[in-house]
Structure 1
C-alpha cells in the first residue's frame, strides 16, 4: 500500500516527465484556445487533458505512446470544434451557450434566473463582489457562456456595444 517497487517510482518519473513534455509541446502547437475556458466545452477539454496526463502518470496499463495519442486527439478535437464554432453559426449554437441577461436596469429577470438554475442570493452575491451596493446601480448582470456573472453598472454601461444586440 505505501510502497511497491522502485521500478514503479522510476516509471512515474520517466513516463511522467516525458508525458509532461509532450503536453507542453501539444499545447504550444495548438495555441492558447486549447486551454481557454470560454464555455463549458472548453472547460471539459481542459479537465480531460489533466485527467489524461494523470492517467499516463499513474496507470501502468497505459503506455506513454497511447497517452500522448490521447492528448493529441483531445487537442485536435478542440481545434476542430473551435474552427467549426468560429466559422459556422450552427456549430456555435450546438457547442456554446448564449449569454443570458439576469438583471436589466436594476430589475431581476426571475424567469431567466430560474431557467439558469440560479438563486437571487447568488445573483446579489455577484453584485456585491463587483463592488456595487444596490441593484439600482446595475445596468446589466449577464450570465456568460463560461458560467461567470458579469456585472455592469450604470456608470460602466457606455453605449452598450458589448452587450448582445437584443439586450441594448
Structure 2
C-alpha cells in the first residue's frame, strides 16, 4: 500500500486488520459450532484427558487465528477442521479398539471399598482420606459406613456408591479384583 504523507495508510491498515478479525472470528466461530455439532454430544460431554487436550488446543488455535492478520480464512478453517477431525478419529478409535482405549484413557480407580481405604491408590493419585470423606458428604452421606465404594473417575471426579445401591457390583468388580489380585 502506498504511504500517504498524512497518515491515511495507518488508518486503512488498521481498518483492514479489524475487518479481518471480524471475518475470521465470525466465520470461524460458526464453522467451529457446526463442526462440533456434527461430531455428536461426546465432544462436549464430561471431559476425559483427551477431550481436555482437544478443547484447549481448539481454543488456543481459534484464539490465535482470530488475532493473526497473516492467517487466511482458509487456513483458519483448515486448522479448526483438522483438530475436530483428529478428535473424532481418536474418539472413534477409542470406541472400537481396546489398545486405543488403554493408551488414551485412565481407568477408574477404586479409592475406598467395603470399609477400607485403598491407601496405595490414594497416594498414587495424590489424594487423601479427606478427599474420600468429602465425596461421601457431597453425596449426602454422613458416614463412610453408608458407602460401599468410592471411585476416582476418568474425568477426575469422585463417585460414591452406597451400600444399598451396590447391587451385584458388576460396574465395580473389575476394580475390586485388581486390588485383591
TM-score bucket (shorter structure): 0.7 to 0.9
Q: TM-score, normalised by structure 2?
A: 0.82
The C-alpha deviation readout for 1:26-77, integer Å capped at 9, x for no partner, is 1122222223335211111122122222122222233222121111111111
Aligned to 2:142: 133
Q: Residue 48 of structure 2 corresponds to which residue in structure 1?
A: 39
Cα distance per residue 1:69-109 (max 9 Å; x no partner): 11111111112111221211111101111100000013211
d(CA) in 2 for partners of 1:148, 1:61: 41
TM-score by length of 1: 0.87
**Counterparts of 2:70 and 2:173, CA distance in 1:** 49
The alignment yields a C-alpha RMSD, in angstroms, of 1.9
Which structure has the bigger radius of gyration?
2
| Paired position in structure 2 for 1:157 | 166
Contact 1:34 1:75 in 2 (8 A): no
Q: Which residue of 2 aligns with 1:105?
A: 114
Equivalences for 1:4-153 in 2 at 5 Å? 5-153=14-162
Give the secondary-structure state (helix, strand or coil) at the position aligned to 1:152: strand
Structure 1 gap segments, 5+ residues each = none
Aligned length: 165
- Residue 18 of structure 1 deviates from its aligned partner by 0.5
Provide the rounded CA distance (Å) in 1 between the counterparts of 2:53 and 2:113: 31
> Cα gap change, 1:54/1:164 in structure 2, threshold over 3 Å: closer, same or farther?
farther
Separation in structure 2 between the aligned mates of residue 64 and residue 122 of structure 1, nearest angstrom: 47
